[in-house]
Structure 1
Amino acid sequence: MRICGIKLGHDGAIAIVEGGQLVFCVEQEKRANNPRYQAIDNFDAIVVDLAEHGLDPRDVDLFVVDGAWWRDGLRLRSGTELVSLEWASYVECHPEGLLASHGGVGLILDGRSFSYRSYPHVTGHLAAAFCTSPFAKAGQGAFTLIWDGIIFPRLYYVDPRGARFIECLFPLIGQVYATAADYFGPYTNRSSWDDLGVAGKLMAYIALGSADEEIIAVFRGLYEERLELGLQHARNYHAESSVDTSLAAIHDFFHTSALRLKGKRAEDVLASFHCFLERLLIQNMTTILQQYSGLPGSRNLCIAGGCALNIKWNSALRASGLFDAVWVPPFPNDSGAAIGAACSAIAVDSGFGPLDWSIYSGPALQCGDVPPEWEATPCSMRELAIILASNKPVVFLAGRAELGPRALGGRSILAAATSGGMKDSLNDIKHREHFRPVAPICLEDRAPSIFSPGTPDPYMLFDHETRSEWRDKVPAVVHLDGSARLQTIPRTSDHEVAELLVEYEKLTSIPLLCNTSANQHGRGFFPDVASACRWGRVEHIWSGGLLWTKRTQN
């Protein structure tokens, strides 16, 4: 059966799953240099994505639309025609409602009307996380934590036979983290609600500060006074019935916090708030698990939702001792919602089984007209390693794009990490703030000697400490607090970036490189060599065995 999962709205994407295998997932931001978080607001985009993979809408057996909180009365376009469409809710409507679908007709594709199903948005997150996990592959159960922007952190138990809601950990919507930036730090002149990138920037910014117990006590006191479960005056907020109600409560929380924390450094306030949330997460998770420790798979955890991009929280949960294994998919935010929608439909018929998938299932590289001033010459991996060793960054475009928001060697800018100035240079090239970190991509077998814990982390979703003896050797990938957002890759991988790392290690004895996404500021990954050439902020572009370099002007 061929199923097409569709995520409309921001982080728009379509995915095809057939016979339990992910065939492809196209996130709209990775097409044609589209803006980050690009929505699908015209059904023609679905037709185009299918056609590029040799499919007609009539070749699809089932369309599945991801649920959303703005379900009623939304009108989208099919060509120039306005179309009304409804879908399932954001959260399941009742305890047994995770796989209750909303059926509809009127999905207009290429002039034809198709029927579709829709499952709650949290069901898609849960299905995408669990079905891609090693637990599903092993036939084990797992707790699954879903924490998105407009919901409280919701804990579920999932096994191949089904899933059930356990309880909310605490009454703070995920947006609370980004909303802190509306009151403290460098982003107070913009609305966190309108800028989906603020939370990630804030996670980098807190390294400039230190957690202060006095500040943490202020946040803890206000939380207990105004937001904690059981408070009568917070009943409407706890009901999660209105995004506006939730945001109003959060803004009141921070407005009062700002008054009580006058004179405190913004960096310390934000670092302290991060620490407060992390402690709350671990504390409440510990309390809940004590009640459910007898469940099979209770030592396994999946994490999904936008908050699963917080590598420090992921690492804290992994280091807590509460779980033997923690799994975060590389697309934990809405970039994985189309995959989750398709997996939800499969779960109805055959349970939450394993999905056969590859991280490199995004769009293939396109052909484009390279500007005439750029010329291509053959370039082996050995030759490319020599260029990188000379402290010159390279745009590296290989194969199909990665799934999710992290560049993992398919659409990357790579550079030597041995110069402390390289991080600043890459941030300048990408028009990013000076405090933003640059991640290391490292050969898996060498990672434990450089990082702690240095465990295999192929998707850049956990925090690692750089060992002291290596901090001066690879300063460009060491964050201000000594940490690194590590990506590991086996030297036996058939991906070309692994071959490059092996050659670079032979040349320098350093088994890692800087890795940051290859894209224009505020845009998705480069879809082709031509786009990277037109951007022109990096001298060398490598793809498919060719090195593109701009001719010097005579």
Structure 2
Amino acid sequence: MRICGIKLTHDGAIALVEDAKLIFCIEQEKRNNNPRYQTIDNLDAIAVALTEHGLDPRQVDQFVIDGWGGAVESQFQVFSGATPITLKGAPYVERHAEGLLDSHDGFGLRLDGSDFPYRSYPHITGHVASAYCTSPFAKAGQPAYCLVWDGGTFPRLYHVERRGARFIASLFPLIGHVYAAAGHHFGPYRQTNRRDLYDPAKLDLGVAGKLMAYIALGSVDESIVTVFEELYEERLAAGARRAGRNSAESPLAAVHDFFDASELQLETKAPEDVLASVHCFLERLLIREMAIAVQRHSRIAARNLCIAGGCGLNIKWNSALRATRLFDAIWVPPFPNDSGSAIGAACSALAADQGFVPLEWSVYSGPALLRTGELPGWNTSPCSMRELATILASNKPVVFLVGRAELGPRALGGRSIVAAATSPRMKDHLNCIKLREDFRPVAPICLEDRAADIFSPGTPDPYMLFDHQTRAEWRDKIPAVVHLDGSARLQTIPRTSQHKVVELLVEYEKLTGIPLLCNTSANHHGRGFFPDAAAACEWGRVEHIWCDGVLYKKAVSDH
């Protein structure tokens, strides 16, 4: 059974699942240096992705489109070639507690001149399915809770087991966009004219991740937290109790009104302290309401938790949930946001047919590198990992491109810029060449068996989804990857991995005794990962590019 999952809206992607195995997932932002959050506006992209993998659309058994905005159904205006087409799909949220697998069936998905039938499941269903089906809990046949906190919804808690999934509760009345919205009211991304921000499509989705770094500049002020707590009770919680706790969403305007009211009381406060306190208020609210929900539903045997939705990228909240010990284990996939929605759409169809079965998958299932030949202005030569480690040890960053791209928004060694972490100036250098703010951290990629020596807790974290503190005795040894608050967004990778970045880390460890490197994404500012060495050379802000065994070195001019 071949199932093609399709995400047409932002973070557009095409995924193919065959007999419960992920064959590929092509995120459109990772093609041709496309902008982040790229949509699929033309269905030809689907046919192209299939053709690249030796398939004709007629060889696909089922097409599935991720649902989107709308209470009853969604609508998509796309093209097939030059022909405009309207497709209808499932809504954003399921319509009743047992309705995750209720599908909208349609016809007219036009690929290569032929029309195909398709199914569509609610957008939230894709998050639940992608998180649980990729989890160790699915593989072990264990039930789990699933928390989905997406941009347009309140945090929603589900119970999932192989035979089905059901909605349990909406935890509290704040949509996931609340974090980015805070950044448009306070701090360096503050907007004075917010009329456009009432439209979710015009919200800057990148602000949330930047704020997670920015709050390290501030301190939690309990008087500020109290302001947010009081306004929340007055303006949001009381109304939600009257309306019923199971409401799915509220207008973004309610979030902006909440922050407008807080601004009047916080005019004299430092913005970095305000945003640190916003983060703290939301974290405490999430922990409190999660504990209440689990207690209220204590008859449910599940003690595992999956986390999905855009808020699943907040490593500090993930770590705070883990620290509560409400759950025996927590799983966050590397694509908790909409970058995993095409996979989720395919898994939804799989669940409708077979139940929520485990998916066989690899995080390195994105687009393959495009071939690159000789490039003007660049010298090429074979380069061993030992030679590459020597370049890194001389404090020179390297663009490292190998194999298929990683899934999700974070570079995990397949489309990375790697560098020595031993110089305090390296973080500033990497932020400069990437046109990033100076307060932004640079992540470490570390051999898994050494991580606990350097970080706390230093537990396996292959997808950079939890917060770790750098141990005091290591902070001066690897200053480039230590954030302002002493934390690190750690990626661990086992020595047994066949990925080439492990070989590099091992060679670098032999040379220096240090089992980690700086790791940041290799991309143009505001774009997806480099699709090939040519794109990295065209960018030209790093002098060494290693691509599948070949070193590209910027030629020295004779003039």
TM-score range normalised by the length of the shorter chain: over 0.9
CA–CA distance in 1 between the matches of 2:390 and 2:247?
59
- Corresponding residue of 2:115: 113
8 Å CA contact retained: 2:398, 2:543: yes
Of residues 88, 100, 103 in structure 1, which corresponds to 2:102?
100
The equivalent residue for 1:218 is 227
User: How far apart are the structure 1 equivalents of 2:298 and 2:243?
Assistant: 30
Deviations 1:78-134 (A, max 9, x none): 111110100001000111210000000011111110000000000000000000000
Is structure 2 residue 455 aligned with structure 1 residue 462?
no
Q: CA deviation at 1:546?
A: 1.1
Which residue is 2:13 aligned to? 13
| Local SS of the residue matching 1:227 | helix
Residue identity matched to 2:426: M
> What is residue 441 of structure 2 aligned with on the other side?
437
- Alpha-carbon contact 1:13-1:27 (below 8 Å) kept: yes
State the match for 2:450 in structure 1: 446
Q: Which amino acid aligns with 1:339?
A: I
Q: CA deviation at 1:462?
A: 0.5
SS in 2 for 1:179: helix
Code of the aligned partner of 1:271: A
Residues 334, 407 of structure 2: 8 Å contact kept = yes
| Contact in 1 for aligned 2:68/2:74 (Cα 8 Å) | no
CA distance in 2, matches of 1:90, 1:283: 26
* Match of residue 280 from structure 1: 285
Indicate how the Cα distance of structure 1 residues 168 and 264 shifts in structure 2: closer, same or farther if over 3 A, else same. Answer: same
2:506 aligns with one of 502, 506, 526: 502
On the 8 A contact 1:171/1:229 being kept in 2, the answer is no
- Taking the aligned partners of 1:342 and 1:395, their CA distance within structure 2 comes to 33
Q: Distance in 1 between matches of 2:498 and 2:555?
A: 32
Could you tell me which amino acid in structure 2 is paired with residue 147 of structure 1? Answer: W
Are 1:363 and 1:401, in contact at CA under 8 Å, matched by a contact in 2? yes
Partner SS state of residue 188, structure 2: coil
Partner of 2:493: 489
Pairwise CA distance, 1:292: 2.2
Matched, 1:202 2:207: no
Q: 1:78 — aligned with what?
A: 80
Q: Deviations over 1:9-31 (max 9, x none)?
A: 11000000001100000000000
Q: CA deviation at 1:378?
A: 1.1
Distance in 2 (CA, whole Å) between partners of 1:195 and 1:283 is: 28
Partner of 1:306: 310
Structure 1 residue runs of 5 or longer lacking an equivalent are: none
Residue of structure 1 in register with 2:172 after alignment: 170
Over 3 Å counting, the alpha-carbon distance change for 1:72 and 1:283 in structure 2 is closer
User: Contact 2:214–2:272 at 8 Å: present in 1 too?
Assistant: yes
Between the aligned partners of 1:106 and 1:525, the Cα distance in structure 2 is 32
- Residues 495-532 of structure 1 show CA distances to partners (whole Å, capped at 9, x for unaligned) of 00000000000000000000000000011000001110
8 A contact 2:144–2:303 mirrored in 1:
yes
Which amino acid in the other structure matches residue 78 of structure 2? L
Match of 2:362 in 1: 358
Count residues with an aligned counterpart: 549
Asked if 2 retains the 8 angstrom alpha-carbon contact of 1:229 and 1:238, the reply is no
How far apart are the structure 2 equivalents of 1:51 and 1:237? Answer: 47
Q: Out of 245, 257, 261, which is 2:262 matched to?
A: 257
Checking the alignment, whether the CA contact within 8 Å between 1:370 and 1:533 is kept in structure 2 is no
Deviation at 1:196, TM superposition (A): 1.3
- Matches of 1:258 and 1:54, distance apart in 2: 56
What SS class does the counterpart of residue 85 from structure 1 fall into?
strand
What amino acid is aligned across from residue 285 of structure 2 in structure 1? L
In the aligned structure 1, how far is the partner of 2:525 from the partner of 2:6?
Answer: 26
Q: Distance in 2 between matches of 1:16 and 1:219?
A: 44
Verify: 1:341 aligned to 2:348, yes or no.
Answer: no
When the two structures are superposed, what TM-score results if normalisation uses the length of structure 2? 0.96
Distance 1:499 1:231 in 2: 54
355-364 vs 46-55, which moves further: 46-55
- Contact kept, 8 Å, 1:240 with 1:246, in 2: the verdict is no
TM-aligned CA deviation for residue 240 of structure 1: 4.3
Q: How does 1:368-379 map to 2 (within 5 A)?
A: 368=372, 370-379=374-383
What secondary structure is seen at the aligned counterpart in 1 of 2:85? strand
Residue aligned with 1:74, SS: strand
Deviation of 1:183 after TM superposition, in Å, equals 0.8
Q: What root-mean-square deviation, in Å, do the aligned CA atoms of Structure 1 and Structure 2 show?
A: 1.4
Contact 2:75 2:89 in 1 (8 A): no
The answer to whether the Cα contact below 8 Å between 1:154 and 1:167 also exists between their aligned partners in 2 is yes
Distance in 1 (alpha carbons) for counterparts of 2:465 and 2:503: 23
- Equivalent residue in structure 1 for 2:140, among 138, 146, 154: 138
Find out whether 1:269 has 2:274 as its counterpart.
Answer: yes
Residues 88, 121 of structure 1: 8 Å contact kept:
yes
Kindly indicate whether the alpha-carbon contact (under 8 Å) linking 1:64 and 1:342 is maintained by their aligned counterparts in 2. yes
- The 3-state SS of whatever aligns with 1:91 is coil
Q: Any residues of structure 2 matched to 1:409-428 within 5 Å, and which?
A: 409-428=413-432
Q: Secondary structure at the match of 1:173?
A: coil
Letter in 1 for 2:27: E
Structure 2 partner of 1:179: 181
Contact 1:20 1:356 (C-alpha < 8 Å) held by counterparts: yes
Distance in structure 1 (CA, Å) of the matches to 2:182 and 2:239: 24
Contact 2:170/2:247 (8 A) holds in 1? no
| Pairs within 5 Å for 1:503-518 | 503-518=507-522
1:317-372 deviations in Å (ceiling 9; x for gaps): 01111111000000000000000000000111111010000010000000245531
